[in-house]
Amino acid sequence: MKHFILLFLGSLFFLFSFSQAPLALKDSALANAGYSVYAMDAATGKVIFSTSQISLVPASVMKIVTTSTALEVLGADFKFHTQLGYKGKINIETGILEGDLILKGGGDPAFYSSYFPEHYKGTFETWGAALTKAGIKTIHGNLVVDVSCLEGWSIPGGWPWDDIGNYYGAGVSGLTYSDNYYKILFSSAAEPGQRVKISSILPSIDSLVLTNKVVSSSINRDEAYIYGAPGSFNQIVEGFIPKGRTDFAVKASMPDPAKIAATEFVKVLRNNKIGFVGKVLINNLLPINDFVQVADKVSPPLSNLIVPLNKESVNLFAEHLLREIGRARKGSSSIDSSIVAVNDFWKEKKIYLKGFYPTDGSGLSRSNGFSARTLAEILRYMYLSGNSEVFFNSLPIAAKDGTLQFAFKGSKLENNLRAKTGSMTRVRSLAGIFTNQAGKKVIFAVMTNNFEGNQSAAGKVMENLLNELYLMDVDTGKNGKL
């Protein structure tokens, strides 16, 4: 009898919850989709509304997990270091270095990044001047680039072949350079369906063999894709670019960022009249520590790095932070150790981890999986953290900036809601925080897979849902009115 009563009460609760469910969840776009929603009072942790907590592909909201873990493990003031030095002896009379230059990468994701142009501007020139000050006029050895700080594969498992050759699918490197992408500049005919020409490649890459199969199109957007295995200098670019264009830029992932960075540095050395006749060698085995340091370039602090990471959804930055978490927690920057480090950290914090299957740091892999509840609980943990302000300030603001620049315009959530977006084919996610009509902070996570229609339709469903949650009473879970 007692068991029956509990079942009956549970059924009543289910029916009540269902009757209060936002109308947005009845949209036809979700008719055959999987979705997970979780909303709570940020101050108390009380659940306002939730659905079934199934594990779903998250896309780029995975970056919430990565950036919050990085802030807690590494600290907001953490900085990366890239060092220049030498091994051997300098002949003071002739200025000849009888030995090798050592360029030691520290896994800095932002080295010469377009997101921090002023911070790294002139770094190579400054290094050249530092060598001159050290008495070096000619280098008789090699330039050895130490990238051993990052172990294992540069690309996480599960990344689609369609993505790997493109700029957003660039892998990590011990010496990442210029966001690890290069530009292919095309010129297209005035008519559609014509083979386009490559006008230039920036920066120029020695040994690059690029097979061009791109044609002109009447569609006014970039539909060109690059295919090439990590580390391979043989790549194929195919697809479409708009007709009648000159120097139309398509961004491709660099086959070997460390080698390309070193080659650019050698050019600067020669411009500074420092002789170099050796080779560029890449060391990815044991770290080189016994060298005389002449320069050290320090990155912006982590608190700054996560701003473009979250606002513009930069995959490369997220993957670098994941590896640094592994190094800090497990003494290894391999992808496997880094994933274990993330799991262990949130397990220690007693976050809901049923169905939690991370496989990368950015969300580009379809092998990632977790529920909205996991995401919401991590967000609330960060709300109570000493890193709260730094973290939430890195999220895009509705109708203002980043990936939410055009969302929620004209609604009560405009300039109110801060959230990380996530999208890929048949995947849409949104998670963050807003202030509701009663002035209370609400943390939420919404995820859906395999919805009907396009991304715009799925995005509208989420906007409608969040606007309904804005009106929902925190204490009763009932829908309210303005």
Rounded Cα gap, residues 356 and 101, in angstroms: 45
* pLDDT of amino acid 20: 65
Closest Cα to residue 233, out of 253, 207, 271? 207
Q: How many residues does the chain have?
A: 482
Distances (CA, A) of 290 to 101, 139, 150: 12, 18, 19
Rounded Cα gap, residues 305 and 318, in angstroms: 10
3-class DSSP state for residue 191? Answer: coil
Question: Residue 36: is its pLDDT beyond 50?
Answer: yes
**The tokens 């080779």 sit on which residue?**
279
Question: Residue 26: is its pLDDT beyond 50?
Answer: yes
Per the prediction, the chain carries an average pLDDT of: 93
Question: Residue 424: is its pLDDT beyond 80?
Answer: yes
Rounded Cα gap, residues 285 and 248, in angstroms: 39
* pLDDT of amino acid 16: 37
Rounded Cα gap, residues 361 and 342, in angstroms: 10
3-class DSSP state for residue 94? Answer: coil
Supply 294's token pair.
Answer: 């002449």
Closest Cα to residue 396, out of 269, 302, 309, 304? 309
Q: 474 pLDDT band (50/70/90 cuts)?
A: confident
Determine the average pLDDT of the residues in 235-255.
96
DSSP string, 243-305: SS-SSEEEEEE-S-HHHHHHHHHHHHHHHTT-EE-S-EEEE-SS----SEEEEEEEPPPHHHH
Domains detected in the chain: 22-76+331-471 (3.40.710.10), 81-151+257-302 (3.50.80.20), 162-253 (no CATH)
pLDDT in tens, 116-153: 999 999 999 999 999 999 999 999 999 999 999 999 99
Question: Residue 12: is its pLDDT beyond 80?
Answer: no
Closest Cα to residue 322, out of 304, 336, 307, 310? 336
* pLDDT of amino acid 475: 74
pLDDT in tens, 153-182: 999 988 999 899 999 999 999 999 999 999
Rounded Cα gap, residues 255 and 445, in angstroms: 36
* pLDDT of amino acid 21: 76
Name residue 388's beta-bridge partners. Answer: none
Question: Residue 14: is its pLDDT beyond 80?
Answer: no
